[in-house]
Structure 1
Amino acid sequence: MKPKRSIFYFFAFCFIGLCEAGPRINCYPEPSANQNLCESRGCIWGPTQDTSDGTPWCYFKDGVGYNLASQNGSTYNLRKNNGPKNPWGEDFQNIQIRTSTIGSVLNVKIGLDGRYEPPVDFPRATLASSETLSFTTASSDDLFWFSVIRNSTNRKIFDTSLGGLIFSDQFLQLSTYLPSENMYGWGENAHQSLKHNFSRYLTWGMLARDQPPNSLNLDTMNLYGVHPFYMCLEPDGNAHGVFIFNSNPQEVTTAPGPSLIYRTIGGNLDIYFFPGPTPALVTQQYLEFIGKPFLPAYWALGYQLSRYGYSGLDEMKQRVGAVRDAGIPLDIAVSDIDYMNRYKDFSTNDKWSGFEDYVNQMHGWNMKLIPIFDPAVEADYLPFQRAQSFGAKFIEWETYSQVQTDIQKLYPMANKTKIMLGVVWPDNHVAFPDFLDSTGRTQAWWRTELELYHSKLTFDGIWIDMNEPANFGTNEQHPWYFDSADHPDDAPLFCPTNGSNRWDLPPYQTHAVYYYGGNQNNAYLSSKTLCLAGVQNNGSYRFYDTKNLYGLTEAISTQQALLDVTGKRGAVVSRSTFPSAGRYAGHWLGDNTARWEDLRTSVIGAQEFNLFGIPYVGSDVCGFLGTSNEELCLRWQQMGAFHSFFRNHNTLREPAQDPAVWPSVAAATKTANLFRYQYLPYLFSLHFQASQSGLTVVRPVLFEYPSDSATFDLGYQFMWGSNIMVAPVVYQGAVTTNLYLPNDVWYSLFNYMYGSRIDPGYITVPSPTTSRIPVFVRGGSAIPRQTPTTTTTMSRFNPFELLIAPCQLGKAVGVLYWDDGQRIVDSFDTHDYHQFDFNFVSTSSDAQLTITRTRKGSVTLPTLDIIEIFNYPSPPNFRSFLLNGKSVNVNVQSSTYSGITKTLYISTQFLIDLTSADVITLSWSNVAK
């Protein structure tokens, strides 16, 4: 389509080679378009000479959409216009647009009453904003469109004059111009750049799929989760967010203009606009609406060691022991499916005999265990029998006529039921628990199974995998496991493929299918999963609608079970996610590959998932698939030390890649981990703020500098909160790092010029493998930290430290949140925790640090013994220190001042008891010049 735009807009498109009045809306997004097929749809066939930008050759004529039939207040009744028809189904003749505000949030809902809406319980709370958004409408030539406008600037942030609104039962499309190309989000996909690329047409699939990321080249396939949310930075630095609440298979095309075309094949178009106006406020407003992230246990921020392919418990002991012997801080051992008896949940095989004794030993070392659990349960297995006695539900066929009786008859407990049986890791067919069961019986059974197993193996957290849900060999005559010596040739699941099955073979199957083209193993929505014709909750939900919610609903049940079973908050990590999943679980970025490209996309992925409200996130450090190598693993360990979820993990039949394999990697990991453990009080405080206020932990640099265009695509650098900048080494052979420091006060926190001012701008710094990667602290920051040891538990007993990095005016502020690290948080209003606010002010003659206890907890605290101050102007008089007006005997043997680096280091045992008063002031004067 090519609606009317300004002459300037026309020439802009000519400049980039399109020479049209606007972007084209693809009329044949399926593979193998040709002129006859295109024109048979009543569309325009217009080949282009340059095919590199993905311009569709088959595109809609002008006029696709609706006109305004009537308006009643904030309800707009639309009628299908006389323009081109929908190729994928009969257009609804009448639809509605309803607008409303929820605090600062604007909701625009396009659709019909009675259509499917995702059963997700968002808080739908709001956060106040200085900005307001308004909904405006217009029409021309039988075409209605609307815009969303930021009132303070009169800027259109969403402009559907592009046309192309289509609404049928199984095909919905909405198109819009954007105010700028600075758009971030949409997922889950492997993004090679932080900012989306609007110089070409790119379509990104969104369907939860057991699909490893491919970071080697640009790859727009969908991965494990679905996040229809983006943030856009406007030309003046204002930011806004857009969330489309839809759980059906969907896709988005980013196109020149800048513009986007969104398509889904079910539900309504339920759109929420968040006004910001800062990137941080956009995220806070979004998370206020969908739910703020859970607070992980303190130990869950420790380093984790894992692999798929341990030969038995002895090998796990060997590798954990090697890492511990290298002096590398380590908190968590993770067990993949190797520990199970023939890969069945809630079981342990003979090669892992003595596992509980080893877990008890690890607990004695202050380490924790996180085992994996898959959702599918074998249909001839005692837990399945208990599920039936509980009245638990599983994903089912809609009718008995659909049941694959030849499979069902193999399992007396499943026979004569409608339970849909599939194949995953266990030897025999499996059933998939229905976590949308409204009776609660399925959730109660799941909790009971975890409780029974916890009585045998006292795990501390839970890793849930395969929950897209994944299924092996769907619709395949010869699935891969037929050629595996470790798996029987179970008959695969086949979905109905006749013309009456509009769920598995809808008129439009989305990029999740069309991306794979002619590869029939992947050319169905049901590939690698269950049949979308299935039902949940006694038939009240169609799996076609709810598939993308499976990981979320399992995470909800699993988190509650973990809290009940252990009585502690622990942590759950889930592969598949959906908006609000961060309330219940963290996420790892999937089955990546041991390549530099995957290291780079993992840096971006962690930033994106913080945007999605899942700050407890990280990658499989050193790569899951393929063989890692010394340099790659070393650099990945250094970078991974700054991701909240920090786990080394690799796959079956590959060499061990834990840091103890290579002396150089062990040394670098020890250095990186000790830095991480030293700054855990800061990282934990960031998570506390994320859980309380919806702030991000790992965040894009542009969040702090939205007016600096140099930060808009700075994907390989990131911030830890507002105060620490990390620039990891992400290229092979690099011994220096090229990076950008925005216009601010910065100090080095790594080996190069530690503690010294670093000029902002584009700089190159040394990054040898034997030092920390480039880390900088922002002026004006007071960062709590703690003397590190080899576990988080032991580190918590050590004295607190405070790093002060003053701004140009000699001031710094910071905050510390502290609880016992494991108590369940029912409400922050009643939760037992401390909060301390730090305020530092210095002049040429004196200085003062004020510590205000703004929240009183009962948790015992270590004392604050060390204060390190950068850019301190002159030597202090160590005899002048006063604590709340009383003289303090500062240890002059361990306290120093360097006139060269301008660093003041105050170290005195039991210097400040943080609970001694609600307001504590440490003041001193400088030596007179």
Structure 2
Amino acid sequence: MKPNLQYFSLLFLLCVEPGIAGPRIDCLPEPSGNQTVCESRGCIWNPVDNDIDGAPWCYFKDGVGYNLASQIGSTYILRKNNGPRNPWGADFENIQLRTSTIGGSVLNVKIGVDGRYEPPVDFPRETISTSETLSFTTASSDDLFWFSVIRNSTNRKIFDTSLGGLIFSDQFLQLSTYLPSENMYGWGENAHQSLKHNFSRYLTWGMLARDQPPNSGNLDTMNLYGVHPFYMCLEPDGNAHGVFIFNSNPQEVTTAPGPSLIYRTIGGNLDIYFFPGPTPALVTQQYLAFIGKPFLPSYWALGYQLSRYGYSGLDEMKQRVGAVRDAGIPLDIAVADIDYMNRYKDFSTNDNWAGFEDYVKQMHGWNMKMIPIFDPAVEADYLPFQRAMSMGAKFIEWDDYSQVQQDIQKLYPMAKDTKIMLGVVWPDHHVGFPDFLDSTGKTQAWWRDELELYHSKLTFDGIWIDMNEPANFGTNELHPWYFDDNDHPNDAPLFCPTNGSNQWDLPLFQTHAVYYYGGNQNNAYLSSKTLCLTGVQNNGSYRFYDVKNLYGLTEAIQTQAALMDVTGKRGAVVSRSTFPSAGRYAGHWLGDNTARWEDLRTSVIGAQEFNLFGIPYVGSDVCGFLGQSNEELCLRWQQMGAFHSFFRNHNTLGEPAQDPAVWPSVASATKTANLFRYQYLPYLFSLHFQASQNGLTVVHFPKTSFCFLQYKCGVIVERRYYDTLMLQFLRCEEIPSSILVAPVLYQGAVTTNLYLPNDVWYSLFDYKYGSQIDAGYIIVPSPTTYRIPVFVRGGSAVPRQTPTTTTTMSRHNPFELLVAPCQMGRAVGVLYWDDGQKIVDSFDTHDFHQFNFNYNSTSSGAQLTISRTRKGTVVLPTMDIIEIFNYPSPPNFRSFTLNGSTVNINVQSSTYSGITKTLYISTKNLIDLTSSDVISLVWSNVLK
């Protein structure tokens, strides 16, 4: 059923109408609260019925906030009003609110106090021009100051803090706002069961980087590996805007009826950036221009990857890689988890992997690549640790010597007289965590040198960085799990000062990351599974409490720089923990998922969210990481995963192998899916090129409340809105050449229910291949022997290439062009092409080709124009195949001319079907793409 948009708009107006009770702002988020505690805080205790799920029983009285003391230009001095006080620390009596406009379009509202911590992240802070502007307005009543952000073109409030609840203390900051609609997407990292947030109930989502696998089996609002305080909202009229809160402390957001949201953090300032759009694509471009556009992965990094945790040794890797290759499945990358290390120590290889470098060289001979894993923690009695100390590299430290656990420290002569905080991860002995915020550069130089030294022994091509929240085993636990693991010594665990006086590990407000994780305060801390937040970095310049969520980002920055320096190529880095701008340096996988159908579905949503966060090189552990996969699930996951940029099969220790060669049916389906992927890699690579150059997404969302643009031959003519679970996706955003994928995500399904927006669509799978498919809600057959439902939009000219079993070999094959005309017989497209591996210092100087395709047909004939708008030096294969859907009548194969010269079309390999209306032109060396800046292929039809 399609939603009634007028109803949603009316609901919003009613919710914010004066006199109607607004959302409740929780005053007792801690577990096991009661009326006595609530009322001692000066809050209201009022149990509610179940009509609004999750509504707090204890909530703030009205009037929480500040009043306006003075204003000088765009600076507002706010003074704590006479309303209720903050239960979690003394309110700052005076705070500042400053507004500014960046580049004429991005509005910044910063609420804070001078001299407080600000995240040390170097954003480009560039802007994208737009005709849309935003205004900041203020108002006050009853001793309460509030502000609104307004879209000037429509006079609509997109951010309205009249809800109240502004609190600003040293370790508790809160801001609440009404939203213009319920169509909000983003915030992370969490496992979301739907792309759009739910405002019919109260839900709090934690944001703290933690070694926490996603739980997709049911609604779970626990924080995962990264922190992304960004959202996009669709307004009732279809305009879109984005909001980014630049804060790296532990934080949370509550979505509530209204629609409204309540944001809380426990440090820093409230530094908020508003991006006006007005389209979803433009919001994304504006956000990514500000935080940094995604890196361009090497071409080979878009190939299929095979991995697992639990290889018994090199021989087993060889067996599984060999089985996949023998099945004819395109495969580019073998991935080595910690099994290859000597007792799980970075920069080492164990005896069971003797000959690893020889095998890597053999893989290179097959045009394959190898990616090993590296964890950040380094054993404290290990040669790389000694080299780090000799070079003056820094590690995360205790604040002062009195906090050092001397019973641990004295075990390691190299760390004995230091403040280095020693923890426990995979290696046998205690470890230190490199300080990638070291301003001297010595830590970064040491990390680079270690990678270079190991690369001289094992010539890896990319890097996988894991455990970089950073993860630590058994923090604050008397009996951690590894005490019962035969493969790990009983190292004394790290204990943080938790005697009640440590404001960093035990702040008065500890966020959803503590209150929800572990169930109660007795067994959960902010430091659970990580290091003590009282620690420091960069010689005490930064408190770990403030910068913990940046650890994965800072490691990714230095790892990418080291990889490019060591290999001389751009390669690819994949990181588990991320923060805004991480996409500039690394991709991401969605973590330690479980082999369940629910996890298959949430992986579709997760990939879309990370495209929104500026990390398009993203995917899931195909077939599931935890638990035992099965034939049908793995088959469907392989089919879906073939359409994600990061495409890796990976599972855990102790479970059976689950690579596609295990089951003949999965091998067959994977081969089909991978060959399709490799055929369309020029298109996928072009999307990544555009994402890196212009800040676009690679995967888009066609069937949610996102505005979906309708095209007539590349021109936007209509906007439509839909509100359903987002389980299909597009391979581009707001450009007419797009491929829509509707994966099969439910057990036992042999058909797929999907929605095709009101446009021209053609089938790209086994069902009516090449035929036009009616728009709307449809059901299509989806047996396991088919490719999953894939469609191409009319008006698209999609570059592709004859596929083979590696990306390197495929790149040498002739180009092809799929033409899917719109109703007017037109199609456009683009191809970007470089050598696939050179480092991109600047797109202005980078060596690449760009070709624009423009196709027009009439009843009498057709013309394909190829314009080279960027000249590179990379040698290109010729374009030998052009496949055209919905071609109206038989062509005259003798009429073809190329820039006025006659072309001899191979009529033996070229065909036209009057039944399917498909024209297939196949001639060796048909078009030399570099022969002219403008190439025109023209032909006429057979006269009737």
The two structures have a TM-score, normalised by structure 1, of 0.98
Instruction: Report the equivalent of 1:345.
Output: 346
Give the Cα separation in 1 of the matches to 2:922 and 2:813.
13
Write the deviation string for residues 804-846 of structure 1: whole angstroms up to 9, x where unpaired: 0001110000000000000011110000000000000111111
Instruction: Report the equivalent of 1:705.
Output: 708
Give the Cα separation in 1 of the matches to 2:428 and 2:855.
63
**Alignment of structure 1 residues 9-20 onto 2, 5 Å:** 12=14, 20=20
Q: 1:715 aligns with which of 726, 730, 736?
A: 726
Instruction: Report the equivalent of 2:751.
Output: 736
How far residue 784 of structure 1 moved from its aligned partner, in angstroms, is: 0.1
Are residues 478 and 521 of structure 1, via their aligned partners in 2, closer, same or farther at CA, if it must alter by over 3 Å? Answer: farther
Q: Are positions 1:923 and 2:929 aligned together? A: no
C-alpha contact 2:65 2:167 (8 A) present in aligned 1: yes
How far residue 900 of structure 1 moved from its aligned partner, in angstroms, is: 0.6
How far residue 130 of structure 1 moved from its aligned partner, in angstroms, is: 1.5
C-alpha contact 1:203 1:252 (8 A) present in aligned 2: yes
Q: Are positions 1:460 and 2:461 aligned together? A: yes
Instruction: Report the equivalent of 1:233.
Output: 234
Instruction: Report the equivalent of 2:140.
Output: 139
**Alignment of structure 1 residues 586-625 onto 2, 5 Å:** 586-625=587-626
Are residues 704 and 173 of structure 1, via their aligned partners in 2, closer, same or farther at CA, if it must alter by over 3 Å? Answer: closer
Which amino acid in the other structure matches residue 568 of structure 1? K
**Alignment of structure 1 residues 642-721 onto 2, 5 Å:** 642-701=643-702, 705=708, 710-721=721-732
What secondary structure does 2:888 align onto? coil
Instruction: Report the equivalent of 1:40.
Output: 40
What secondary structure does 2:894 align onto? helix
Q: Are positions 1:764 and 2:779 aligned together? A: yes
Instruction: Report the equivalent of 1:395.
Output: 396
Write the deviation string for residues 455-483 of structure 1: whole angstroms up to 9, x where unpaired: 00000000000000000000000000000
Consecutive unaligned residues of structure 1, counting only runs of 5 or more, are 1-6
Write the deviation string for residues 542-584 of structure 1: whole angstroms up to 9, x where unpaired: 0000000000000000000000000000000000000000000
Instruction: Report the equivalent of 1:113.
Output: 114
Q: Are positions 1:94 and 2:68 aligned together? A: no
How far residue 523 of structure 1 moved from its aligned partner, in angstroms, is: 1.0
Which amino acid in the other structure matches residue 228 of structure 1? P
How far residue 369 of structure 1 moved from its aligned partner, in angstroms, is: 0.2
Which amino acid in the other structure matches residue 508 of structure 1? F
Write the deviation string for residues 394-424 of structure 1: whole angstroms up to 9, x where unpaired: 0000100000001000000000100000000
**Alignment of structure 1 residues 468-507 onto 2, 5 Å:** 468-507=469-508
How far residue 499 of structure 1 moved from its aligned partner, in angstroms, is: 2.7
Which amino acid in the other structure matches residue 77 of structure 2? N
**Alignment of structure 1 residues 413-452 onto 2, 5 Å:** 413-452=414-453
Which amino acid in the other structure matches residue 35 of structure 1? Q
Give the Cα separation in 1 of the matches to 2:498 and 2:670.
52
What secondary structure does 1:904 align onto? strand
Write the deviation string for residues 347-370 of structure 1: whole angstroms up to 9, x where unpaired: 000000000000000000000000
Which amino acid in the other structure matches residue 621 of structure 2? D
What secondary structure does 1:67 align onto? strand
How far residue 498 of structure 1 moved from its aligned partner, in angstroms, is: 2.0
**Alignment of structure 1 residues 858-877 onto 2, 5 Å:** 858-877=873-892
C-alpha contact 2:16 2:22 (8 A) present in aligned 1: no
How far residue 500 of structure 1 moved from its aligned partner, in angstroms, is: 2.3
Write the deviation string for residues 268-303 of structure 1: whole angstroms up to 9, x where unpaired: 000000000000000000000000000000000000
How far residue 502 of structure 1 moved from its aligned partner, in angstroms, is: 0.1
Q: Are positions 1:187 and 2:202 aligned together? A: no
**Alignment of structure 1 residues 832-911 onto 2, 5 Å:** 832-911=847-926
Instruction: Report the equivalent of 1:4.
Output: none
Give the Cα separation in 2 of the matches to 1:213 and 1:175.
27
What secondary structure does 1:446 align onto? helix
How far residue 9 of structure 1 moved from its aligned partner, in angstroms, is: 7.1
Structure 1, 24-33 or 222-231: larger mean CA deviation: 24-33
C-alpha contact 1:10 1:19 (8 A) present in aligned 2: no
How far residue 713 of structure 1 moved from its aligned partner, in angstroms, is: 3.7
Give the Cα separation in 2 of the matches to 1:9 and 1:227.
29
Give the Cα separation in 2 of the matches to 1:896 and 1:8.
56
Write the deviation string for residues 532-551 of structure 1: whole angstroms up to 9, x where unpaired: 00000000000000000000
How far residue 21 of structure 1 moved from its aligned partner, in angstroms, is: 1.7
Give the Cα separation in 1 of the matches to 2:249 and 2:724.
30
C-alpha contact 2:395 2:434 (8 A) present in aligned 1: yes
C-alpha contact 1:132 1:152 (8 A) present in aligned 2: yes
Instruction: Report the equivalent of 1:830.
Output: 845
Give the Cα separation in 2 of the matches to 1:330 and 1:623.
19
Instruction: Report the equivalent of 1:79.
Output: 79
Are residues 24 and 248 of structure 1, via their aligned partners in 2, closer, same or farther at CA, if it must alter by over 3 Å? Answer: same
How far residue 20 of structure 1 moved from its aligned partner, in angstroms, is: 4.9
Structure 1, 515-524 or 346-355: larger mean CA deviation: 515-524
Which amino acid in the other structure matches residue 919 of structure 1? V
Are residues 297 and 410 of structure 1, via their aligned partners in 2, closer, same or farther at CA, if it must alter by over 3 Å? Answer: same
Give the Cα separation in 2 of the matches to 1:588 and 1:32.
36
C-alpha contact 1:194 1:713 (8 A) present in aligned 2: no
C-alpha contact 2:177 2:261 (8 A) present in aligned 1: yes
Are residues 271 and 837 of structure 1, via their aligned partners in 2, closer, same or farther at CA, if it must alter by over 3 Å? Answer: same
C-alpha contact 2:225 2:578 (8 A) present in aligned 1: yes
The alignment's C-alpha RMSD in Å is 1.5
Instruction: Report the equivalent of 1:576.
Output: 577
Give the Cα separation in 1 of the matches to 2:799 and 2:435.
44
Q: Are positions 1:754 and 2:765 aligned together? A: no
What secondary structure does 1:98 align onto? strand
How far residue 336 of structure 1 moved from its aligned partner, in angstroms, is: 0.1
How far residue 64 of structure 1 moved from its aligned partner, in angstroms, is: 0.2
C-alpha contact 1:700 1:714 (8 A) present in aligned 2: no
Instruction: Report the equivalent of 2:6.
Output: none
C-alpha contact 2:380 2:429 (8 A) present in aligned 1: yes
What secondary structure does 2:498 align onto? coil
How far residue 240 of structure 1 moved from its aligned partner, in angstroms, is: 0.2
Are residues 773 and 417 of structure 1, via their aligned partners in 2, closer, same or farther at CA, if it must alter by over 3 Å? Answer: same
How far residue 52 of structure 1 moved from its aligned partner, in angstroms, is: 5.9
**Alignment of structure 1 residues 10-409 onto 2, 5 Å:** 12=14, 20-50=20-50, 53-103=53-103, 104-409=105-410
Which amino acid in the other structure matches residue 845 of structure 2? T
Instruction: Report the equivalent of 2:820.
Output: 805
Write the deviation string for residues 588-624 of structure 1: whole angstroms up to 9, x where unpaired: 0000000000000000000000000000000000000
What secondary structure does 1:507 align onto? coil
What secondary structure does 2:109 align onto? strand
C-alpha contact 1:11 1:19 (8 A) present in aligned 2: no
C-alpha contact 1:815 1:836 (8 A) present in aligned 2: yes
How far residue 924 of structure 1 moved from its aligned partner, in angstroms, is: 0.5
Which amino acid in the other structure matches residue 35 of structure 2? Q
Give the Cα separation in 1 of the matches to 2:591 and 2:522.
21
What secondary structure does 1:698 align onto? coil
Give the Cα separation in 2 of the matches to 1:673 and 1:720.
16
Which amino acid in the other structure matches residue 56 of structure 1? P
Which amino acid in the other structure matches residue 82 of structure 1? N
Give the Cα separation in 1 of the matches to 2:16 and 2:527.
42
Number of residue pairs matched by the alignment = 921
C-alpha contact 1:10 1:22 (8 A) present in aligned 2: no
C-alpha contact 1:9 1:21 (8 A) present in aligned 2: no
Write the deviation string for residues 660-707 of structure 1: whole angstroms up to 9, x where unpaired: 000000000000000000000000000000000000001111566167
C-alpha contact 2:159 2:177 (8 A) present in aligned 1: yes
What secondary structure does 1:868 align onto? strand
Give the Cα separation in 1 of the matches to 2:740 and 2:13.
40
Give the Cα separation in 2 of the matches to 1:708 and 1:884.
39
Write the deviation string for residues 786-818 of structure 1: whole angstroms up to 9, x where unpaired: 000000000000000000000111000000000
Give the Cα separation in 1 of the matches to 2:30 and 2:771.
57
C-alpha contact 1:233 1:239 (8 A) present in aligned 2: yes
Consecutive unaligned residues of structure 2, counting only runs of 5 or more, are 1-8, 710-717
